[in-house]
């Protein structure tokens, strides 16, 4: 009976969640379930949750309602960070039948006895201290690029963050298994791999179940660069204090790693960085940007920044704004601070009114648009390679260059998941870059 059932998935949050959803989905397929799109009617819906912001929590209820509109009798399962942090709260949401915590989520099918709807969701959630073992994951078949998980958990104690409570201690995949997964991804014809984790610069800690570092992030990068068939390797978010000169130098001359870094800043104020318990001050961040631009002048650098943290006065916000305005970076990911239970920041004085948080967020988002356009303009005339995506967006196909310039050209299905040499020519009214194909542009 069960082997004919249809299952659909929805992922909230980060690249790491996408990699884990894909792994969970493969487990269902191996058990005889048929995977369908979330927009389709399914017997089971699995929602992988996020709890980085208050908005992510609220979105969960919306996704549940959308699933039940497709099939009111569907069996709904919640997994992920929110499911670990607030399992009882999720279980009480109308329509939710099963809630699984940080370790249980990788064995979803073993918790399904039948698909009868429950009056209140059944909870299986470990103590987070039990999440001390590593489960490897990667996404495949969902996108043009694959997200390869290399690390999980975090030992940092940032005062605003619940991720250590949701994912546990820092631990890593073995180097051997990472390389095995990379080769498997490559064999499927996927052109780009994005390395992901909670704190990937901490790679190597807990690789064999202990706290010591068996390998370093630089060793991981060097070994991945040797894998045949991978055209592009991209480093996702990495802490500035863990991004070493040696890694930057290696990326600059590597076979496959692209000149694109995403480095969390969170605040341009040393006073606030100390209150956040970040493990660096502003000078370290400035040094990292300078080093990257020294050896890779065309590198793309993305920045995470939080607005409205307790104690952020107008003066301290402008310190962050002016610092970012002067910094040679390419775009911002702006997060509006939201109070998270069981964090130090909740108890701090100097709460910033939400209207002011929203105003500051809007200012930084505007700065991000300006920074991205300036970066794109600096790339006009350059010859780069583009990897095309799989979606038809209003008659156009989009793609990204190695240094993360987003380009567009009229839709052509033959371009999907192909690499081409192009010359950037002009920025369109919607902010994307137009280009010309260079002769013999196809890259095999």
DSSP-derived 3-state class of residue 394: coil
pLDDT digits (tens, 9 = 90+) for 28-76: 999 999 999 999 999 999 999 987 666 766 788 999 999 999 999 999 9
Range of the domain at 39: 2-126
Q: Are residues 143 and 29 in the same domain?
A: no
Average pLDDT for residues 353-380, to the nearest whole number? 98
Q: What percent of the chain has pLDDT over 70?
A: 96
Is residue 325 included in any domain, yes or no? no
- Mean pLDDT lowest for which of 141-150, 154-163, 222-231, 262-271? 141-150
The two tokens of residue 136 are 């490897």
Q: Is 219 domain-assigned?
A: yes
**Residues near 254 by beta carbon (within 8 Å), at least 6 away in sequence:** 221, 225, 233
Residue with tokens 């650098």: 301
Domain count, the chain: 3
Of the residues 237, 258, 279, which one is the last residue of a structural domain? 258
The pLDDT, as a whole number, for residue 1 is 43
Q: Supply the pTM of this predicted model.
A: 0.91
Give the whole-angstrom CA distance, residue 236 versus residue 249.
17
Is the pLDDT reported for residue 408 higher than 50?
yes
Mean pLDDT of the 171-185 span: 95
16 with 67, same domain: the answer is: yes
222 and 174 share a domain?
Answer: yes
Among 71, 100, 126, which residue terminates a domain?
A: 126
Kindly provide the b/e burial profile for residues 428-437, where b requires at least 16 CB atoms within 10 angstroms of the residue's own CB. Answer: eeeebbebee
How far is it, in rounded angstroms, from Cα 168 to Cα 129?
Answer: 6
Is the confidence at residue 209, as pLDDT, over 80?
no
* 184 and 237 part of one domain: yes
> Can you tell me the distance from the alpha carbon of 38 to that of 53, in angstroms, rounded to the nearest whole number?
23
Distance of alpha carbon 18 from alpha carbon 16, whole angstroms = 5
- Look at residues 97, 126, 155 and tell me which one is the last residue of a structural domain: 126
Please check whether residue 28 lies inside any domain of the structure: yes
Averaged pLDDT of the chain: 92
109 and 171 in a single domain? The answer is no
pLDDT digits (tens, 9 = 90+) for 99-137: 998 889 989 998 987 788 877 889 987 777 777 778 888
For residues 142 and 249, membership in a common domain is answered with yes
19-36 pLDDT, tens digit each = 999 999 999 999 999 999
> What are 409-435's pLDDT values in tens digits?
999 999 999 999 999 999 998 889 989
Is 314 part of any domain? Answer: no
Q: Say if residue 261's pLDDT is above 90.
A: yes
Tokens 């950037």, residue located: 424
Residue 98 tokens read as 């099963």
């Amino acid at each position: 009976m069960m082997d004919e059932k249809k299952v659909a998935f929805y992922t909230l949050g980060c690249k790491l969640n996408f990699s884990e959803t894909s792994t969970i989905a493969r487990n269902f397929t191996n058990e005889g379930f048929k995977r369908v799109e979330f927009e389709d009617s399914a017997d089971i819906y699995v929602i992988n949750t996020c709890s980085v912001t208050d908005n992510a929590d609220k979105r969960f209820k919306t996704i549940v309602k959308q699933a039940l509109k497709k099939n009111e009798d569907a069996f709904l399962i919640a997994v992920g960070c929110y499911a670990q942090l607030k399992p009882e709260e999720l279980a009480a949401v109308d329509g939710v039948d099963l809630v699984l915590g940080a370790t249980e989520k990788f064995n979803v099918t073993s918790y399904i006895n039948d698909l009868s709807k429950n009056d209140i969701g059944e909870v299986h959630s470990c103590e987070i201290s039990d999440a001390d073992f590593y489960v490897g994951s990667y996404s495949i078949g969902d996108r043009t690029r694959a997200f390869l998980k290399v690390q999980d958990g975090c030992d940092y104690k940032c005062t605003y963050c619940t991720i250590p409570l949701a994912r546990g201690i820092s631990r890593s995949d073995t180097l051997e298994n990472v390389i095995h997964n990379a080769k498997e991804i490559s064999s499927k014809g996927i052109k780009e791999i994005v390395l992901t984790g909670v704190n990937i610069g901490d790679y190597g800690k807990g690789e064999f179940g202990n706290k010591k570092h068996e390998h370093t992030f630089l060793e991981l990068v060097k070994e991945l660069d040797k894998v045949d068939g991978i055209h592009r390797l991209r480093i996702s978010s990495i802490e500035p204090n863990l991004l070493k000169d040696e890694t930057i130098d290696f990326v600059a001359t590597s076979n496959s790693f692209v000149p694109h870094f995403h480095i969390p800043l969170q605040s341009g104020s040393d006073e606030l960085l100390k209150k956040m318990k970040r493990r660096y001050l502003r000078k370290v961040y400035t040094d990292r940007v300078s080093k990257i631009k020294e050896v890779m002048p065309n590198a793309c650098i993305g920045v995470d920044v939080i607005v409205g943290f307790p104690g952020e006065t107008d003066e301290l916000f402008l310190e962050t704004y002016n610092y970012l305005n002067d910094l040679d970076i390419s775009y911002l990911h702006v997060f509006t601070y939201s109070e998270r239970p069981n964090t130090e920041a909740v108890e701090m004085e100097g709460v910033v009114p939400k209207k002011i948080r929203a105003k500051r967020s809007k200012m930084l988002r505007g700065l991000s648009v300006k920074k991205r356009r300036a970066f794109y303009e600096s790339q006009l005339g350059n010859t780069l390679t583009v990897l095309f995506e799989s979606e038809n967006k209003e008659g156009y196909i989009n793609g990204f260059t190695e240094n993360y310039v987003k380009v567009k050209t009229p839709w052509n299905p033959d371009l999907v998941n192909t690499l081409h040499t192009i010359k950037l020519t002009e920025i369109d009214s919607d902010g994307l870059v137009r280009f010309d194909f260079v002769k013999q542009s196809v890259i095999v």
